[in-house]
Structure 1
Amino acid sequence: MAQQLNSEEGTTLIPLQKDARKSRSSMISASFNFINSIIGSGIIGLPYALNQAGLPFGLLLLIVVGFITDYSIILLIKGGNLSGTNSYQSLVHSTFGFPGFVILSGLQFLYPFIAMISYNITIGDTLTKVFQRIPGVGPDHILAERHFVIILSTVVFTLPLSLYRNIERLGKVSFLSMVLTVIILIIVIIRAATFGPQILPTDDAWAFAKWNAIQAVGVMSFAFICHHNSFLIYGSLEQPTLANWSQVTHISVGSALIISAGFAVAGYTTFTGYTQGDIFENYCRNDNLATFGRFCFGISIITTFPLECFVTREVVSNVICSRDLSKTEHAAITMLIVAVCTSISLAYDCLGVVLELNGALSATPLIFIIPSACFLKLSSGRWFDGENLIPAVLIIIGLFIMITGLIMTGIYPQGCSHGVEMFYCADANASSTVPPV
């Protein structure tokens, strides 16, 4: 059995004691939990993904990633049924042995670890602008310095919360995260209608496709990954059948896709080619509504960071030793993880590249490659025959996206204008086109 940890991009499985009771949920309840696990703060980078791929082609890619996510989640449960396993880890261990388990563990470490780096970058970008709305805090104030804000939030909030040994003491943040995400979505839609018309579109704003489309798929994969909680929600169903699970998956992924597409389009059409990895970097400092959105997003990030740290620490501790960590070991590993994440986020401040790397390096194999490989390993037919055809094609596509995405991110890193007021804000301030709220 496992405990559900709701984080920005998904719910993570953490082993529970054997005597823990398994809760049963209806299909509606399971669908809601699944939607919560998909939709999170990763949605903030989807407008940037459309900027990378082009609006029409980007939407098409987003739909394709949604369909592949839906298919691979069902494929994962099929593989579990064939192998008699009830978790992602045990499925991979059953099909590919210890080497496969080590690879999966590495990916499950990388995903939350890189996510924590992105959280710190976002905190530095977001809260500095929130603090600047405080009277007396200007661009030269220490509270407007991203390095200081990242260190401050780490020392005061994220590190102390990450040091908890019992994750239950952190409380349940799924509902809070969902509420904050809805608020952010509403803000982005409002500003698309009220502020977007004041910004002239870039020359290639409505191009069908752009060369960076592969990198966009990495960002989309990061936003949609939810496979690591699939077995938990499947097992919680009152009637855990493949038919019921397929229905829950279709409803959940479909709903998440609609919300994500709405957010992506609203954000991109507001700023077109100026859209950055963190959409709130595009809004002006004196925009009070956007400032409230930044505050909501910052709270969401701070409450999510410790959950990802918990997952990362568990992977490290499981690799180092099978026994429970002592208090000293627990504190040392936690502080080392947080220190490394903080150091990297202090040295690098471009969120878009971090999202691309995490999507290509960890999310893509977890969505495209591993579920398909497990199913093909367990299937008795040939790779490209019958129901094995789509999994085989997904492995090829996943490898192409992973390798090409990493190469393009390294060769063509996307720039960002962190902390720099966008040029259109000066015009908006002069003509008062950004109404205070």
Structure 2
Amino acid sequence: MEMNAIPNGKGHEPGEEITALAKTPSADDGEKETVANSAQNASPHRTENTEANLPESQEFLSGIDDKKTTRFTDFEGKTSFGMSVFNLGNAIMGSGILGLAYAMANTGVVLFLVLLTVVAVLSSYSIHLLLKSSGIVGIRAYEQLGYRAFGTPGKMAAGIAITLQNIGAMSSYMYIVKYEFPLVIQAFLRVDKPAGEWYLNGNYLVVIVSIAVILPLALMKQLGYLGYTSGFSLSCMVFFLISVIYKKFNVPCPFVDFALNGTASGLNVSATDPGGEEDPACIPKMANLNSQTAYTIPILAFAFVCHPEVLPIYTELRNATKKKMQHVANISITVMYVMYFLAALFGYLTFYGEVEAELLHTYSRIDPYDTLILCVRVAVLIAVTLTVPIVLFPVRRAIQQMMFPNKTFYWPRHIAIAFILLTFINLLVIFAPNILGIFGVIGATSAPCLIFIFPAVFYIRIVPKEEEPLRSFPKILAVCFAGIGFLFMIMSLSFIIIDWTSGTSKASSGH
């Protein structure tokens, strides 16, 4: 029976599913009221589910006076509020922050701020839809919400979208390790012309990092344990942000390219010309529309992708309620919003129209051996490396939901899935140098589904019509939200197709 599958997406012991529906006193009123109606309203599979739950219900209720209430899992509810914020913040924070200054250069400061604010609000609303749906049916797994809304096709669609999106994200992080790590070592060792040393080979370094750092973290049984590494990862990005702000006040405008330094000693590098007027190249644009503006919108739209990780983090949150998890999401999004804006603003105000699509490359044009920028590169490498295990957890859950829906937690399977996933990603990164174009298409389709379309349509299907009719304001809002998702999907795919046909590569769905 499908509904023997774990409500929280992990293996469970007998009695746990009914515990998911029998809310604890800490649950908020909305959850208590809606769970009572879930058996009759939530799904066309009501009869089957009731029968499947009956033995577990009897076993649970018969022992309720004699033993402690069974939890979602044996480690349910042990992750603190702060650790949950770290984990979700780390899931949001991706390599995309390196391209936000370029996005601001092509939209202008004010238009960028407006777009970033809209996307942050939409992301928070999307998480609200997921939490509302999960509260109604007592399920804390994205794939199982899909099953409750549309049966097996819904579960498979959600599972496949999560798998493709997160494998694409992990691959993009590993590409950063492959191409940046050798350059960092080369710069620290002052090796101008590598002679084929193995420690400057990105393929070897990717495998070493995967085995030494990522695999041990990916084998953790509980996502909450990664809160410490997530906190360290975020501190690395804070160091990146501080360095970007510091460099703004130490790089002259217009800056002198390192390659021209030998002949540029006599150039005027002040922001004013001999007449005393400010250099037009050093004046920030409040709004800017050019041929690249449209390409930056998908980058911003997907800057807050964290939705596959929301429900796993919710599952492990101590004394979890919808309200508390929404606070976790809102704080994480707000912190990332501030960091995104400051990184984009000061990166843009350092280089203005000269900023490149990858911010750190622009700093290397000033001095490739700058010690601070080298330290920042190391910090970014650490941050993206420590993000990979966080992104891997939802993929493993999705695979378990699709292939082993009725199985309890089993260490060999837990380890094997992580090992196979990392091996597959390493092979992609090593042997398929142009695979990012394919993952661009995957990101352009799966990301809008996970952020906009699925949360909206699951909400429309799962929330009972008696509680919210189809013509009620919340459901009309959800329909509009799904429409935004389709719009972003069409835009992103269009830009990628234009890139391919024109021979350029400017669009990105990067997270």
Question: Contact (CA 8 Å) 1:364, 1:402: kept in 2 or not?
Answer: yes
Structure possessing the higher radius of gyration over alpha carbons: 2
> How far has the Cα of 1:133 moved from its partner?
2.1
Distance 1:159 1:239, change over 3 A: closer
> How far has the Cα of 1:411 moved from its partner?
0.6
Tell me if 1:81 matches 2:132.
Answer: no
Tell me if 1:180 matches 2:222.
Answer: no
Distance 1:64 1:150, change over 3 A: same
> How far has the Cα of 1:29 moved from its partner?
6.0
> How far has the Cα of 1:314 moved from its partner?
5.6
> How far has the Cα of 1:177 moved from its partner?
0.5
TM-score by length of 2: 0.67
Amino acid at match of 1:166: L
> How far has the Cα of 1:211 moved from its partner?
4.4
Match of 1:46 among 87, 90, 100: 100
Match of 2:251 in 1: 195
Match of 1:291 in 2: 374
Amino acid at match of 1:115: A
> How far has the Cα of 1:143 moved from its partner?
6.0
> How far has the Cα of 1:244 moved from its partner?
4.0
Question: Contact (CA 8 Å) 1:218, 1:364: kept in 2 or not?
Answer: no
Match of 1:300 among 380, 383, 403: 383
Match of 1:363 among 427, 447, 466: 447
**Structure 2 residues not aligned, in runs of 5+:** 1-7, 14-72, 256-278, 507-511
Tell me if 1:149 matches 2:201.
Answer: yes
Deviations 1:321-365 (A, max 9, x none): 667667888756643342023323x346xx8x7896565232222
Match of 1:128 among 168, 182, 192: 182
> How far has the Cα of 1:304 moved from its partner?
3.5
> How far has the Cα of 1:45 moved from its partner?
2.9
Q: How far apart are the structure 2 equivalents of 1:100 and 1:134? A: 50
Tell me if 1:21 matches 2:92.
Answer: no
Q: How far apart are the structure 1 equivalents of 2:247 and 2:241? A: 10
Match of 2:343 in 1: 263
Percent identity over paired residues: 24
Question: Contact (CA 8 Å) 2:148, 2:462: kept in 1 or not?
Answer: no
Question: Contact (CA 8 Å) 2:95, 2:384: kept in 1 or not?
Answer: yes
Which piece of structure 1 moves more, 165-174 or 102-111? 165-174
Question: Contact (CA 8 Å) 2:312, 2:394: kept in 1 or not?
Answer: no
> How far has the Cα of 1:21 moved from its partner?
2.3
> How far has the Cα of 1:204 moved from its partner?
10
1:217-366 alignment to 2 at 5 Å? Answer: 217-235=297-315, 240-284=320-364, 285-305=368-388, 308-309=391-392, 311-312=394-395, 315-316=398-399, 319=402, 334-344=422-432, 346-347=433-434, 357=441, 359-366=443-450
Question: Contact (CA 8 Å) 2:94, 2:384: kept in 1 or not?
Answer: no
Question: Contact (CA 8 Å) 2:453, 2:481: kept in 1 or not?
Answer: yes
Distance 1:51 1:93, change over 3 A: farther
> How far has the Cα of 1:132 moved from its partner?
2.9
Match of 2:268 in 1: none
> How far has the Cα of 1:312 moved from its partner?
4.2
Amino acid at match of 2:101: P
Distance 1:359 1:266, change over 3 A: farther
TM-score by length of 1: 0.77
Match of 1:167 in 2: 220
> How far has the Cα of 1:183 moved from its partner?
0.8
Amino acid at match of 2:360: F
Q: Give the CA RMSD over aligned residues.
A: 3.6
Q: How far apart are the structure 2 equivalents of 1:376 and 1:329? A: 33
Equivalent pairs, count: 398
Question: Contact (CA 8 Å) 2:126, 2:456: kept in 1 or not?
Answer: yes
Amino acid at match of 2:330: H
Distance 1:355 1:290, change over 3 A: farther
Q: How far apart are the structure 1 equivalents of 2:284 and 2:446? A: 30
